[in-house]
Amino acid sequence: MNEKLTDIFGIDVFNESVMKERLPKETFKALKKVMDKEQPLSLDVANVVANAMKDWAIEKGATHYTHWFQPLTGITAEKHDSFIEPASGGKILMEFSGKELIKGESDASSFPSGGLRATFEARGYTAWDPTSPAFLKEDAAGVTLCIPTAFCSYTGEALDKKTPLLRSMESISTQVVRILKLFGINDVSKVECSVGPEQEYFLVDHNKYMMRDDLIFAGRTLFGAPAPKGQELDDHYYGSLKERVASYMKDLNVELWRLGILAKTQHNEVAPSQHELAPIYATANISTDHNQLVMDTMKKVAKRHGLECLLHEKPYAGVNGSGKHDNWSLVTDKGKNLLDPGKTPNENIQFLLFLTAVIRAVDVHADLLRLSASNPGNDNRLGAGEAPPAVISVFLGDQLDDVVAQLVATGEAKTAKKSEKLDVGVKTLPRFSKDVTDRNRTSPFAFTGNKFEFRMVGSSMSIAEPNTYLNAIVAETLEEFADRLEAAEDFDTAVHELIKTELAAHERVIFNGNGYSQEWIEEAARRGLPNISCFIDAVEALITPKAIKLFEHQGIYSEAELRSRVEINYENYSKVIAIEAKTMIEMASRKYIPAVMKFVKNVADSVISVKNALSVADVSAQEEILSKASRLLSDAKKAMDNLSDGLARVSDISGAKETATYFRHEIVPMMDALRAPIDELETIVDSELWPVPTYAELMFEL
Ligand code: ADP
Ligand code: MG
């Protein structure tokens, strides 16, 4: 990078400063009002903005534009249109109208709609989200102007992840503003939820990746014996970067900075060849867009470096998988973080009220949060002693835990534990204050100073849903609190009373201990906390009466939208497992089994030739290997046939839920049964004959 970082930051974004520079004053003012959600967008304004956007994009080499959206597949979608319009004399003009900016029509019948839209009425609309800036994307197709949009059906149902998120942001803002008024704060008109997602990922050599059908088709290894070394020495975590990885990260950062993404920290993660990138937090919808771009860019830049980026939650068995920590807080339009406890949280009633609201919301709707962090990939990770358990609990840290205990006991918190000076015992090192909360890495939902960190989310998932649900559940509780407090005669007494009773009712969800331990799982059961073990068991959290009431009341999802998402979740699960199962059969029948047969024949030949050469020779070693390999080969063949038969029976099942359940309870165990003998064979078969790169080669040879 020769340019200065300050010069390249955001140069591919049609951001506020570009708008200010390129739009007539009046238009800019009008657009600002739209962005601040104070007034709707008029076509006149849209026309002027579209024209300025087009000129800017064309100057930067763009030929096409696209409405960029986030369908329910969880990744982003785009359909490119060029700016060209025919003009007289066989020439063309480059045009882009306000109408084209605001609304796109996509015959998007192949996007999942979960029955919301029959294919014969395939119309879907994309609508510009002016709160998220347009940007340029450059790839082999050239430069494209990308316009972030929401995606809905002809009848207005949301077919994407962004629309409900935007709705939830309005909902929580409204309720927080009401609460603040009760505290005499009248100058706040909007509250944003701020989100900072930490993104974990693995890198693998492209050529080795191309030799593994499982990585290509499933994004994770479906076979593989453990390498002699895993992560036990903890020498990769925060270790110095390998040249190739460092050069990848450098390139990645530049790409992200150009897109105006505040990529801030990067480091090696726990598992070999695992890394993390965290941006500085932003407003939830922008952060969601950015995280999608981060994931896209990670993959794109990897290819340039002869690498592949794996975003799957569990690429390799036996070492840690990848997650995405979703850091969340509430910040007013005056810049105040409402989750900041200040120095004396025990006296900060306003903070304690918001804290109580989050605790209550998480307790009441733990099942929804669990679902928002569930996908087929994360099933391989949650609760496996490397990621949070499947039980949702809230970590507060010593200081707040103590404040809560005092409040529950007496209705008052007289003291707050202070942070101490940390003395490391070396005179030349500075002494500094310890944080009042230590980190608890095992908690699914941890208070970390001035924000909550939701740690269950899977690395490949969109953060739209976790944040939509979080906003929704906290908004619901705040609405109830506001109703009660507005009706109270004496606000002061009422707010103290409310905090005390609500904390007492929901303190069961607070847990500060080791979330990975078996004792906690037992204790959680005693406390009556839900322990939902897998994705498909979590799906119906969306259509419980309490969930339907929650989302409908706040206008975030209609019941039809919720039901469609249930269908899509089940279908998605079945499709993913089917692909994995078919990939396993393909690899077993065409790679592993032929290789093992060759090996078995070699050993058999060796037994015969050694015996021929010397009739009294001891061939017991060869015979042992031969008999073990033959037995495992036969086990593998049987397991493979069994899996094939299992897949053939899928067509007999009707119903999305029934099919997903069959995949979970019948097919997954059959897959495990096929993996076991092959992984064992990997440890005895001649490495020269082994048909695919091993774990050691994938993780350590970068
Ligand atoms: P850690 O690894 O300790 O969890 P990181 O620095 O890797 O910490 O990531 C913390 C993330 O939290 C960053 O994305 C950061 O911008 C974000 N963050 C910090 N403060 C807030 C806040 N008030 N609201 C939301 N996110 C925040
Ligand atoms: Mg974190």
Among 149-153, 230-234, 272-276, 657-661, whose mean pLDDT is lowest? 230-234
Token digits for 346? 């025990």
Average of per-residue pLDDT across 553-567: 94
* DSSP-based three-state secondary structure for 460: coil
- Continuous segment of H or E residues that includes residue 620: helix 620-648
Tell me the average pLDDT across 327-351. Answer: 93
Alpha carbons 664 and 237: distance in angstroms, whole number: 33
pTM of the model: 0.94
Instruction: Tell me 69's DSSP state.
Output: B
Both tokens of residue 36?
A: 């601040």
Q: Which ligand is nearest to the CA of 283?
A: 1
CB-based contact 205:298 (threshold 8 Å): no
Residue 4's pLDDT is 83
d(CA 194, CA 340): 13
DSSP string, 212-227: -HHHHHHSS-S--PPP
Residue to mutate, 192, 265, 269, 281, ligand 1, most ligand atoms under 8 Å from C-beta: 281
Beta strands in 157-233 (DSSP E): 191-205
Range of weakest confidence among 25-39, 436-450, 517-531, 651-665: 436-450
User: What pLDDT shows up at residue 120?
Assistant: 46
- Closest C-alpha residue for ligand 1 atom 5: 278
Q: DSSP assignment, residue 579?
A: H
Q: Note the Cα 83 to chain centre separation in Å.
A: 34
Average pLDDT over every residue of 229-241: 76
Q: What percent of the chain is modeled with pLDDT above 90? A: 75
pLDDT at 432 over 80: no
Q: Kindly state the tokens that stand for 660.
A: 């997903």
Query: Using an 8 Å Cβ cutoff, are 379 and 371 in contact?
Result: no
Query: What pLDDT does residue 430 have?
Result: 60
Q: CA–CA separation, 74 vs 374, rounded Å?
A: 12
445 CA → ligand 1 middle, Å = 14
| CA 455 to ligand 2 center in whole angstroms | 7
Q: Quick one: tokens of 216?
A: 């290509």
d(C-alpha 419, C-alpha 269), whole Å:
29
Instruction: Please name which of 538, 564, 534, 535 lies closest in space to residue 551, comparing C-alpha atoms.
Output: 564
Q: Which ligand is closest to the CA of 264, given by its number?
A: 1
Rounded to the nearest 5°, which phi and psi values hold at 213? -60, -35
For a pLDDT cut of 70, what percent of the chain falls above it?
95
Average pLDDT rounded to a whole number, residues 226-255: 85
pLDDT at position 103: 87
pLDDT at residue 425, as a whole number: 58
**333, 249, 168, 227: which is closest to 695 by C-alpha?**
227
Q: What residues does 200 pair with on adjacent strands?
A: 276
Ligand 1 close to Cβ of residue 280 (< 6 A) = yes
Q: How many whole angstroms from 205 Cα to the centroid of ligand 2?
A: 27
Distance CA 265, CA 198 (A): 9
pLDDT band at 155 (very low <50, low <70, confident <90, very high): confident
pLDDT tens track for 442-485: 899 999 999 999 999 999 999 999 999 999 999 999 999 999 99
Q: Which residue has the tokens 């390998």?
A: 242
List of E strands, 298-427: 307-310, 324-332, 394-395, 421-422
CA of 194 to the centre of ligand 1 (A): 10
Ligand 1 pocket residue status of 260, Cβ below 6 Å: no
How many of the other CB atoms lie within 10 Å of CB of 121?
A: 11
* Sequence-ordered alpha helix ranges (H) in 273-393: 284-304, 349-364, 366-372
Q: Average pLDDT, whole number, for the chain?
A: 92
Which has the closest alpha carbon to 454: 364, 339, 324?
A: 324
136 forms beta bridges with 145
Q: Is the CB of 279 under 6 A from ligand 1?
A: yes
Q: What is the DSSP string of 664-692?
A: IIIIHHHHHHHHHHHHHHHTTS-TTT--S
**Ligand nearest to the Cα of 327, by number:** 1
Q: Does position 119 have pLDDT exceeding 70, yes or no? A: no
Tell how many helices (H) and how many strands (E) occur in the chain: 24, 20
Instruction: Find the range with the poorest average confidence among 105-109, 148-152, 481-485, 629-633.
Output: 105-109
Question: Closest residue (by CA) to atom 24 of ligand 1?
Answer: 329
